Chain A
C-alpha cells in the first residue's frame, strides 16, 4: 500500500499546483499579447471561427430567452464568433467559477458583481481591457453611465465593462396609506417622517406592519451614509462604522423591530410575501422586483428613500469581464462591448425589465419609464443623484458576514449596539492588515 499512496500523493499535489499556476499566473502576458494587435475584429474581416464561453448568473431563470436574443444578434454581426452560454443560480455561481479559475479552465467571459470583482481584479484573474478599448477606434466609454464605468477600474486599468445596475427604493402600498389617511412618501422625507408614518400605519390587530428593511450589511452601509457616517477612514486602513453616527444608524435599523417592523429572521421571500398579501405598508427593496409586483391586487408606487443627515442610495452593478487566460482577447472584447452597450442588447434588456443597462443615453430607457406600475419610475434614476457604492475589500464576504453577524447579535440583544459594532470593527480591522 505505502509506495502506491505516496506516489499518488505526489501526483495529486503536482497536479493541483500545476493546475493552480496555469490558472492564475498568466495575466500580464495575456494583456501584453492583446495590446499590439489591438481593436475589435472588424465585422467584415474573414477570420477563424472562434467559440467564446460566457458564464452568467443573471439570466436564469427568467431571462434565458432574452440572453439568447442578444447572442443571436451578436453572432449575426460577427459570424465567425459563436457564444456558448453557461448559466448557474447565483448561490452556486461563485463555487463553480472559483473552481474553474483555480484549475486554469476559466470561461472566456463571465459576469461579476461589483463587490466580488475587486478580489478577482487584484488577483490577476481578469484581462486588462484598457489596451483593447484604446485600440477599438469606434469605441467611446461615454456610452456608459460614467459612475458605472469608473467603478470597474483599479490601478488605472479597466478590468470590466458595466453590464447592468440597480438600486433600492421605498416601495409603498397606496391602499394602506389611503386607509390610514397618511400622506404618500416623497423626496422630502427623512427617517423621522418614515417613523411617524410607520407608527400610524402599523395595525397589529390586522397583522399590518408599517415598514420592513432588512438588518444586514448592505442596508447598514447605506443608512450609515444617510446618517453622514463613513465605513472606513479616508485612507481606508481603519473601520469607522462604529462611531456615534454608526451606532445611530444601526439603532435606526434595529429600533423599528417588533414596534413597526416584523421580526427580521424571515423565511425566504417572506418580506415579499407580506407585501404581496397587502400586509406591509412600506418596503425598502430593489427595483428588480417591479416585474414580480406587476399583478398584485392593490395600488402601489415607489419613492426615493428617506435620508437623515443626507440622502444615500444603493448602487448595485454587475460587470462582464474576460478571463486573463482567454485565448481570444479581441473577440472577448467585441462580445463584452456588444453585450453591454449595443442598441440591440440594450433594447432587449429594457423591454424585458432585465435590470437596467448601464448606458448613459436616457432616451433608451423610454420604454422602461413608460411602463406602470409603479407610476413614479423616474425615482429609479432620481436615486442615482446620491448613490453610495458598498465598501469593498479583498476579504469581502468575510467582512460582510462579520458586520451582518454583529447586527444580528445586537438585534437579538446578545450585545448592545455599541459592543456589537466595536467587536465587528476590530475584526474588520484585522482583515485590513
Chain B
C-alpha cells in the first residue's frame, strides 16, 4: 500500500498515528512471513545439505544440517553413473515445448469459453474439466496402446503429445479472462477489430499474471511428470530427469545422498523458471489506463 499512499494525498499524509500503525503492521507481516518462509525453505536446505553428505552419514541420527565433511563427489558420481546432461536436456526440451503449447492452446480455449458464445459451450467446458477426473494410472494403458498404434512408443513425440492441451490451463485462463474489465475490448470492437486482434492485443497482455502463472505450473508439471515418461520411454537417450533419477532408488537400500543430489539438480531449473515467471506476475499490475 506504500505506493497507494504516495499516489493519493488523502491518505497517509503522515500523522504520527498512521505511521505507527503502518510500522506495526509491517513488522507483523515481516515476522510472520519470515517464520513461515523458514518452515518452507527448511526441507530444501536439508535436501541441499544431504546432497553434500557422504554415504551413510545421512542415516546416522540425528540428521546434521551442516555436512561434515562436505562431500562434493555425489554430483560427480551421478553424472558419471547416468547420462545426467542428456536427462536434463530431455527434460528441458520436453518441458519447454509442452509449456509453450499448453499456454497457447489454453489461452485460445480460455478465450473461447470466456468471450465467445456458441451452442453447448457449458457442456463442452465441463468435458474439459472432466478430463482431470480420471487418474492417469487408469488411462495409461489405453494411452500406451494408442501410442503403439501410432508407432510412437519410445519417442519424443509420445512424451509431448499428451500434454499439448491442458484442461487446468484452460480453466485457469478462462477465469482470468472473465475477471478482466470488458471496456477495452468493446472499444476495440467498435474500431472494427476482430476476435484474433482483441485476443492478441488486449486480452493476452492484460492477463499476463495468469499466463505467467500457467507457464510456471505447466513447466513444473511437465518437469516433474514421472509415470508417463517411465512407461513410454525405454532408451536412456530419451529419458527425462525424474525417470533417470528413479533408478537411484535401489530395491533394498537407497543412496539418499545421491538421490538428494539428483533432486537438487532437478529443482534448480524450475526455480529459475519460477523466478523469471514471477516477474511477469508482478509486472502485470503496472498496466494502466484500464478506464480507457
Contacts and interface: CB of A to CB of B under 8 A. Distances in A.
B247 A103 contact: no
Contact of B142 (A16, A95, A105): A16
Main secondary structure of the interface of B (DSSP, over half): helix
B230 A96 contact: yes
A89 B253 contact: no
Given A15-B146, A273-B59, A292 B231 contact: no
Contacts of B249: 61, 89-91
B59 A57 contact: no
A86 B141 contact: no
Nearest to A62: B250
Nearest to A60: B247
A273 B60 contact: yes
Interface string A281-319: 000001011001001100000000000000000000000
Interface string B37-61: 0000000000000000000100111
Interface in B32-89: 56, 59-61, 81
A273 B61 contact: yes
Interface in B191-249: 227, 230-231, 234-235, 246-249
A61 B247 contact: yes
B120 interface: yes
B246 A89 contact: yes
A103 B250 contact: no
Max count, chain B CB within 10 A of own CB: residue among A61, A103, A273? A61
A84 B145 CA distance: 22
A89 B231 contact: no
Contacts of A103: 141, 144-145, 148
A277 interface: yes
B231 A99 contact: yes
Contact of A64 (B56, B81, B230): B81
A283 B273 CA distance: 47
B140 interface: yes
A19 interface: yes
Contacts of A183: none
Contacts of A296: 56
B231 A95 contact: yes
Contact of A276 (B59, B144, B153): B59
Sort chain B's interface into a size bin.
35 or more
A87 B246 CA distance: 10
A93 to B, nearest CB: 9
B81 A53 contact: no
Contacts of A99: 140-141, 144, 231
Contacts of A204: none
Given A15-B142, A276-B59, A277-B61, A58 B251 contact: yes
Nearest to A59: B247
A88 B247 contact: yes
A276 B252 contact: no
A58 B127 CA distance: 43
Contacts of B149: 15
14 contacts: A1-B120, A15-B142, A61-B247, A61-B249, A95-B227, A96-B230, A99-B231, A103-B141, A269-B59, A270-B59, A272-B59, A276-B60, A292-B253, A295-B56
Interface of A: 1, 12, 15-16, 19, 53, 57-58, 60-62, 64, 84, 86-92, 95-96, 99, 102-105, 268-270, 272-273, 276-277, 286, 288-289, 292, 295-296
Given A105-B153, A289-B253, 17 more contacts: A15-B149, A16-B145, A61-B81, A61-B249, A84-B234, A88-B246, A89-B247, A89-B248, A89-B251, A99-B144, A99-B231, A269-B253, A273-B61, A276-B56, A277-B60, A289-B252, A296-B56
10 closest A-B pairs by beta carbon, nearest first, are: A273-B59, A60-B247, A90-B251, A19-B145, A277-B60, A89-B249, A89-B246, A103-B145, A86-B234, A61-B248
